[in-house]
Amino acid sequence: TGSTRAERLLKAVQKNARRGDPQSVISAIDHYCRHSEWAMNVGDEKGSILDSVLSEVSPSCALELGTYCGYSTVRIARLLPPGATFVTVEFNPKYAKVARQVIEFAGLQDKVKLIEGASGDLIPKMKELFGNVTFDFVFLDHWKDRYVLDTKLLEDCGLLRKGSVLLADNVICPGTPEYLAYVRNNPRYKSTYYKSHLEYTKVEDGLEKSVFMG
């Protein structure tokens, strides 16, 4: 049978990037998705905003919900301080398989813990899996109707601390209206909207940064 979009993206990385060079992996994916076949990576424009927020936070413990092909995983892992813990959650085994190979091609496999399963099942297990952790930084990029549920779950499981930063992709397109309402009307969050565009297009999209106040 034919390959999937994710597998074709992986082929483009193997063909055009340099092993052990995260920036070349990022550039190869962006070039492929802009010129050959669109894919739902955070992309270069929103990716630069992700980079700058990440550099401000410099997290020692980070979480990503929605690995997909590992594009944002590589973007995040390449900027983490040595010894940081970085967990990324993917429920689709085909995506997880591609992501593992993309992350490994970038040479970042020792910085990333990719766990397979659904966020709703795995979030309550984080303390058991990684010791009494709290996340300094969370990147939300999975199913848009799960953002609020999983944010509440992170709070209830004691996985956020005063100053934890949540960064949510796609708050305009496809859109996460309930999530925006939740973080913008909640006194426990200080939120900032970063206007941008849907990856590889001129369509408006943006990232919402929300600082948990404890």
Ligand X SMILES: Cn1ncc2cc([C@H](O)c3cccc(CNC(=O)c4cc(-c5ccc(F)cc5)cc(O)c4O)c3)ccc21
Active site residues: 141, 144, 169-170, 199
Binding to ligand X by residue 211, rule CB under 6 A?
no
8 A C-beta contact, residue 183 and residue 191:
yes
8 A C-beta contact, residue 175 and residue 17:
no
Which listed residue (136, 169, 205, 208) binds Mg ion by CB under 5 A?
169
Closest CA to 90 of 6, 165, 174: 6
DSSP-derived letter for residue 35 is H
Binding to ligand X by residue 30, rule CB under 6 A?
no
Closest CA to 136 of 166, 180, 114: 166
CA distance 159 to 148: 15
Binding to ligand X by residue 139, rule CB under 6 A?
no
Minimum distance from residue 67 beta carbon to Mg ion (Å): 11
Which listed residue (85, 151, 170, 196) binds Mg ion by CB under 5 A?
170
# binding residues, ligand X (CB under 6 A): 22
Binding to ligand X by residue 169, rule CB under 6 A?
yes
# binding residues, Mg ion (CB under 5 A): 3
8 A C-beta contact, residue 46 and residue 72:
no
Which listed residue (9, 79, 89, 180) binds ligand X by CB under 6 A?
89
Residue type at 124 in one-letter notation: P
Contacting positions for ligand X (CB under 6 A): 40, 65-68, 89-92, 95, 118-119, 141-143, 146, 169-170, 173-174, 198-199
